[in-house]
Amino acid sequence: MSARVVRDFGRVHGGAPEGVWAAPGRVNLIGEHTDYNDGFALPMALPQTAVLAARRRPDGLLRLHSAQGDGGVTELRVADLAPGTVPGWARYPAGVVWALRARGLPVGGADLHLDSTVPTGAGLSSSAALECAVAVAYAELYGLGLGRPELARVAQYAENAFAGVPCGVMDQMASVCCAEGSALHLDSRSLEVRQVPFDLGGHGLRLLVLDTGVKHDLADGAYAALRAGCERAARLLGLPALRDLGEPELPAALGRLPAELVPLVRHVVTENARVARAVELLTAGGPGALGPLLTAGHASLRDDYGVSCPEADLAVEAAVAAGALGARMTGGGFGGSVIALVRADGAAAVAGAVADAFAAAGFGAPAVLEAVPSAGARRIG
């Protein structure tokens, strides 16, 4: 894709870019809605990436073009960037430039051309991939000297304060910090990370991503309401965050909370425990044993957190019935994708069973791709 992006950059902006960068989407193996509770997660980067060709401008203009856009160029003055002023996809890259300037960093304008293979609206962090591609490119172009966790924080701030999505930091940390062949054990409070080997092929396994086709928009208020509920529960319990509540203390803590907060807290605490168990299993070399954890995590997201949908529930049910070792929705929910851990020789049967179940239910056919643990954001040209 690098050569195509360079060619298209020249067609749109004239001349050659100073470089080409790529940042991946992600799937989260386990640890959903834990990051904004200072908790733990276990994502991995996808082979699908947002690719960015970029060149600095001396005149303070930011000129944005996307191969997935309407063909037009969005032209903005860097000095005028402010939350709520940029619509559509352009708010993600523009937000990163704004966030860097909000930190007092000496960044100016640029010509940017983006081309992404990360499916949008599928819960695979297409927005974080865009943000992180811009963050790593600007860091290099302008010599900012920011470390990977700092770049993730910048990208998260852009999504929170500029794009208006109150997400945690997991998506951005996965996009910038993941390593090929590994899952990323993330502590969302300290931003400490550990690469955990995730050798699917060596164990005769594959991880399928089943896109339900139900588009989600985390800026629609439901996500913000869940986060606010968790923060309220932590205050009522006298805790800095729900991450500070362990499983042994959970029953007593639930008895001190209003009924509407009980299922939220139960999910976060048990999900953190599932992350810890998943890391133990992978460290011991047993990726196939993750299956029951995935399915249990989906039940918690469905029944306690209330972020699943009929299509995702059906995909999980059909995949497990067809021989998947485990399956669950991945991402923020309200649509998006399901991951299914399958034996390599049974992958086609599982995908076919989910497609058949969708057809019988009158749902559109799910798109299927394979999740391969891939590298994080990097310069590619």
In tens, the pLDDT along 66-108 reads 999 888 999 999 999 999 999 999 999 999 999 999 999 999 9
**Confidence (pLDDT) at 334:** 87
Identify the band that residue 235 occupies on the pLDDT scale cut at 50, 70 and 90: very high
pLDDT digits (tens, 9 = 90+) for 275-329: 999 999 999 988 999 999 999 999 999 999 999 999 999 999 999 999 999 999 9
pLDDT digits (tens, 9 = 90+) for 132-167: 999 999 999 999 999 999 999 999 999 999 999 888
Six token digits for residue 77: 């003055």
**Confidence (pLDDT) at 258:** 98
Cβ neighbours of residue 192 closer than 8 Å, sequence gap 6 or more: 186
Average pLDDT, the chain: 96
Q: Are 136 and 23 in contact (CB under 8 A)?
A: yes
Residue type, 201: G
- Backbone angle region of 167, left / alpha / beta, with phi > 0 → left and psi within -120 to 50 → alpha: beta
Q: Measure the CA–CA gap between 334 and 172, rounded to whole angstroms.
A: 20
Identify the band that residue 216 occupies on the pLDDT scale cut at 50, 70 and 90: low
Catalytic pick among 59, 171, 303, 356: 171
% of residues, the chain, pLDDT over 70: 99
% of residues, the chain, pLDDT over 90: 92
Identify the band that residue 200 occupies on the pLDDT scale cut at 50, 70 and 90: very high
Residue with token string 């991946």: 24
Q: Are 29 and 43 in contact (CB under 8 A)?
A: yes
Q: Are 173 and 184 in contact (CB under 8 A)?
A: yes
Model confidence at 219: pLDDT above 60: no
pLDDT digits (tens, 9 = 90+) for 177-186: 999 999 999 9
Identify the band that residue 217 occupies on the pLDDT scale cut at 50, 70 and 90: low
C-beta neighbour count of 205 within 10 angstroms = 20
Residue 171 designated active-site: yes
Model confidence at 218: pLDDT above 70: no
Q: Are 380 and 179 in contact (CB under 8 A)?
A: no
pTM of the model: 0.94
Q: Mind spelling out the 3-state secondary structure of the chain?
A: CHHHHHHHHHHHHCCCCCEEEEEEEEEECCCCCCHHHCCEECEEEEEEEEEEEEEEECCCEEEEEECCCCCCCEEEEHHHCCCCCCCHHHHHHHHHHHHHHHCCCCCCEEEEEEEECCCCCCCCCHHHHHHHHHHHHHHHHCCCCCCHHHHHHHHHHHHHHHCCCCCCCHHHHHHHHCCCCEEEEEECCCCCEEEEECCCHHHCEEEEEEECCCCCCHHHCHHHHHHHHHHHHHHHCCCCCHHHCCHHHHHHHHCCCCHHHHHHHHHHHHHHHHHHHHHHHHHCCCHHHHHHHHHHHHHHHHHHHCCCCHHHHHHHHHHHHCCCCEEEEECCCCCCEEEEEEEHHHHHHHHHHHHHHHHHHCCCCCEEEEECCECCCEECC
Work out the angle at residue 29's Cα, subtended by the Cα atoms of residues 26 and 34, and round it to the nearest 5 degrees: 90
Scored b (16 or more CB within 10 A) or e, 361-381 reads eebeebebbebbbbbbbeeee
pLDDT digits (tens, 9 = 90+) for 242-271: 999 999 999 999 999 999 999 999 999 999
